[in-house]
A and B are shown apart, each in its own frame.
Chain A
Amino acid sequence: GGSLTKLAYYSTVQHKVARVRSFDHSGKDIEHEPLYEISVQEEITARLHFIKFENTYIETCLDFIKDHLVNTETKVIKATGGGAYKFKDLIEKKLGLKVDKEDVMTCLIKGCNFVLKNIPHEVFAYQKDSDTEFRFQTNHPNIFPYLLVNIGSGVSIVKVETEDQFEWIGGSSIGGGTFWGLGALLTKTKKFDELLQLASKGQHTNVDMLVKDVYGGAYQTLGLSGNLIASSFGKSTTADKEFSKEDMAKSLLHMISNDIGQLACLYAKLHNLDKIYFGGFFIRGHPVTMRTITYSINFFSKGEVQALFLRHEGYLGAIGAFLKGAEQDNPNQYSWGENYAGSSGLMSTSPDVFPMQRTRSGTFDMFEMDRLERPLVNLPLLKDPSTYIPDTVDLTDDAMARKYWLTCFEEALDGVAKRAAASQPDSIDASERAEKFRQKYWNKLQTLRQQPFAYGTLTVRSLLDTREHCLNEFNFPDPYSKVKQKENGIALKCFQSVIESLDSLGWEERQFALVKGLLAGNVFDWGAKAVSDVLESEPQFGFEEAKSKLQERPWLEDSYSQWLERLKEGPPHKCALIFADNSGIDIILGVFPFVRELLSRGTEVILACNSGPALNDVTYSESLIVTERIAAMDPVIQSALREEKLLLVQTGSSSPCLDLSRLDKGLAVLVRERETDLVIIEGMGRAIHTNYYAALKCESLKLAVIKNSWLADRLGGKIFSVIFKYEVPCK
């Protein structure tokens, strides 16, 4: 670019992962052996890195690249943007690589498609006068067609119809270069940023002729407000008056923004499009221009079109150039996820608010995406994928909730760091890494306090995920592995007696006991501070103790009677999809008896567990071992496994929460194949922080125990209140 270099590169990252492996138990004393073996292994994953820095550092950067280009066949480097011409020789000399210049617009659009597909909260609308400046949008499953208005020195308007199909439909010469060039002439101010700052302080009404200057008031027959600009610079038509720099800059900004907005609307109308993304240096993170463009689009489209902006707009060209170079091992065939630990996040460059962060974002910025093992897709049972929002509370919006949760995560941080260090007693640098983790996550929380919009909509889920990413970054892949191992072992020992006591009950009593067991199991959540305190201090705290903690019926949310009615009156479900939560008592004594009952009714069961570890949530590989051990004790489970009526799958996620729009493709295929007609979501993270309001095409059960008094209070209950939400889609 003109002043910033954006570098995109691919790397393989070696990091530690926790693995579990079943022992061969034959002839051994099972009573005193752990259930399975835990090992930490090195794994190599793919990561995309994006770095943004000032052009003055380009030599340092090239040295860095030279030192890190390893085991690569790379002979060319793809470059785009104005600087591609300027630095061609330097790059070729330093790296010994050939510079391949790529078309700017092609790269921009490739990059745009990539972020729109892979980053859930990429797109936002700008709202100046609300508590949340940035209003993030849910990704529509189909991103096409859209209009991209790139405001560089001029304006390009491009219609994008498919991955490879786009068309330049128009443009305008009045763009960022006009603001800068004309602004420099009028105000003798040389820098673009300074011009914007001048503009943000000026009064355009001193320079512009308004409708009321012509009419004395509004132009009522046309409904044009008196404050509308009738003629930009219409008051400066005199040689003998002086105008302030601020006022002229403001007038110029309005003139240009309005003009671009008007043309964009005219093109959108002509091509029948309602999504307009704005990018280019004129926009790039500048609240002032986002505001004026938003105003203009709203005015000229009469509110029918929304001006949209992109969180990683500055990187689009670099991403696109990279994708052009990587066409052979097409990154587009994978799913990618933003790594919160390695990304700087969106910084408001508002000149007044955060001068410190402003400098930081102006000079250096990072963005990382991890390649996910498996492609992610929508759950086919979502009622309307285009309006599905996983998260229940938007913390960018809700300042009170935001304050509470940020503090909550801050307070829990020392404990998490301690547990992380303790989980690797044999590692000499564990406490050092744990401290680094603590610092990193603490800093993230502080950033989010000031700029809640940094990573898209702030939610409890994003706070939890950020913590997991930070733990992974410092090689704590699974701090709870030993806790889970121990708890799974203990719970397995109780399995048979729990089943026996359930089987002794009458049908109706048993149904209630099963639900209660499921809820009691869900109390065992190391992620909830209220619970982890109890578990730390009372090691004997067990299933019965948990049951006694539960709220008595009627529960806070209680549709148990309807559920019972459904079981009594209706035919057995064809197939149930269950999203499990915690290891130990939860999965073994809560979920499995419930699964067993469903199987006995003739309902097939898909049990979905996380692909990677998060807190003490049961992982897919752990669930395999646990199920195997249960099957050895229980003929119902055993035959269901053999006959493939009980299927274990992974979710594709490593989050304590659940995003039903990003699930493992294999799971989605199976759900469709087995004609799933019941979805059961268990736990606070998956059924309350997320999906509480999720609408499905089939029957669903959302159940959880609220293990946080603030949240309980919010929902009108007390700690250990029970949520039992049985929903039937309306016909």
Chain B
Amino acid sequence: VFPWFGLDIGGTLVKLVYFEPKDITAEEEEEEVENLKSIRKYLTSNVAYGSTGIRDVHLELKDLTLCGRKGNLHFIRFPTHDMPAFIQMGSEKHFSSLHTTLCATGGGAYKFEQDFRTMGDLQLCKLDELDCLIKGVLYIDSVGFNGHSECYYFENPTDAERCQKLPFNLENPYPLLLVNIGSGVSILAVYSKENYKRVTGTSLGGGTFFGLCCLLTGCSTFEEALEMASHGDSTKVDKLVRDIYGGDYERFGLPGWAVASSFGNMMSKEKRESVSKEDLARATLVTITNNIGSIARMCALNENINRVVFVGNFLRINTISMRLLAYALDYWSKGQLKALFLEHEGYFGAVGALLELLDSA
């Protein structure tokens, strides 16, 4: 029964995937209730919803076959604080009259369950976020990105001139370390489709970058924060090894360019007064990214896994972080570890939820 949705309600963002059937027969069209039609039209004919909802058109998967139906998969996101408005809209569009199941994952599936029931007259099917995440990753990678590879990596990450993004074949994915960077970070070791464990997590994630940027620079969107960061210079804010030792610290094999103390220069009043907001944004981004890289690297060593896949919306339009992760993993592991990335960054949980819906049907 249409419509097919998958919902992932995170700490900061709600991710919604919608399967738009393209093989609707005239007969079906006839039978289709008005509500359903209007929802389909609303979602597919717009790229923005309200003031905050956005459809990532560039990610749309075309001519997908799902459960014997052909169609397009749409990727939509909006901030979690607009969740009440979303439920309200569902209620106004009489979503509950469609008698469909809404599969949801992420913490919000639990947090908003009550609201869905009382405001939207909807019973949520709650799913575990890590199950969904892995399911989504494996599925999207297997179908590919409209004929291109979903997975990619950076070649020559330590060489700024020669560094380039190249497709990566993830046909035999196991074992892999999956690092999901949302507001916070979860790190999973995946050994097979069913066998995985959460190794650890850290609270220093995308939310930390954005939260600190808001406090330090007064910015108000993630895009703005990233834009600022792209124009800043973190070495004015951070204390580098060479700032302390004049060059490399050979006793420990530390290169002079390595950060010795994040925000370390900010201990001095004069330096605090001479840095720009852009520098601060960049330093925040570098600090958070390097830290995730270093925890991921330690987990990979402890679990004896050498492929690390980074996903999550922190990486959206965030080439700086992706390159930094690729670089850090390669450099500190002396080439032993490889950082991989996926085009659909933050949507795998929602995709997994959609797949669960279809499996259960």
Contacts and interface: CB of A to CB of B under 8 A. Distances in A.
Interface of A: 82, 103, 105-106, 152-154, 156, 168, 170-178, 180-182, 184-186, 190, 207-209, 211, 213-217, 219, 221-222, 228-240, 243, 248, 255, 258-259, 262-263, 266-267, 269-270, 300
Nearest to B225: A237
B70 to A, nearest CB: 35
A168 B183 CA distance: 32
Contacts of A185: 216, 263, 266, 272, 280
Contacts of A181: 237, 261-267, 272
Nearest to A251: B211
Given A173-B238, A221-B128, A238-B220, A243 B215 contact: yes
B269 interface: yes
Contacts of B207: 209, 230-234, 237
**Interface range for B:** 35 or more
B238 A216 contact: no
Interface string B99-112: 00000001110111
B206 to A, nearest CB: 8
B298 A214 contact: no
B200 interface: yes
Given A154-B261, A266-B298, A270-B302, A230 B200 contact: no
Interface in B248-269: 251-254, 258-267, 269
Interface stretch (B31-39, B138-146, B286-294, B346-354): B286-294
Tell me if A's interface is mostly helix, strand, loop or mixed. mixed
A237 B211 contact: yes
6 contacts: A153-B260, A181-B267, A214-B107, A215-B110, A263-B294, A270-B302
B251 A105 contact: yes
B11 interface: yes
Nearest to A222: B198
Contacts of A267: 298
B301 interface: yes
B65 interface: no
Contacts of A184: 266-267, 272
Given A233-B212, A255-B204, A262-B200, A209 B263 contact: no
Contacts of B269: 190
Nearest to B298: A266
Given A174-B262, A186-B215, A239-B218, 16 more contacts: A153-B267, A168-B253, A170-B294, A174-B287, A175-B262, A181-B264, A214-B183, A215-B111, A231-B182, A232-B208, A234-B183, A234-B203, A234-B205, A236-B212, A243-B215, A263-B298
Interface in B192-206: 198, 200, 202-206
Given A154-B260, A215-B110, A234-B11, A239 B219 contact: yes
A255 B260 CA distance: 18
* A182, A215, A216, A243 — most chain B CB neighbours (10 Å): A182
Interface in B125-183: 128, 130, 182-183
B284 to A, nearest CB: 9
Contacts of B302: 266, 269-270
Contacts of A222: 130, 198
A231 B261 CA distance: 22
A236 B214 contact: yes
B295 interface: yes
Contacts of A229: 184, 203
B215 A233 contact: yes
B239 interface: yes
**Taking each of A235, A236, A248, which has the highest tally of chain B beta carbons within 10 Å of its own beta carbon?**
A236
A171 B261 CA distance: 10
Given A237-B211, A238-B220, A255-B203, A173 B261 contact: yes
B215 A153 contact: no
Closest 10 CB pairs of A and B: A181-B266, A233-B211, A231-B207, A214-B107, A177-B261, A234-B207, A216-B111, A177-B264, A181-B263, A231-B183
Interface in B217-255: 218-220, 237-239, 244, 251-254
Contact of A105 (B219, B237, B252, B280): B252
B210 interface: yes
A626 B136 CA distance: 89
Nearest to B299: A266
A173 B332 CA distance: 14
A232 B211 CA distance: 8
B140 to A, nearest CB: 23
Nearest to B241: A154
B12 interface: yes
B6 interface: no
A185 B262 CA distance: 13
Given A173-B262, A209-B11, A255-B203, A216 B110 contact: yes
Nearest to A179: B263
A269 B304 CA distance: 13
B99 to A, nearest CB: 26
A173 B208 contact: no
Contacts of B267: 153, 177, 180-181, 184
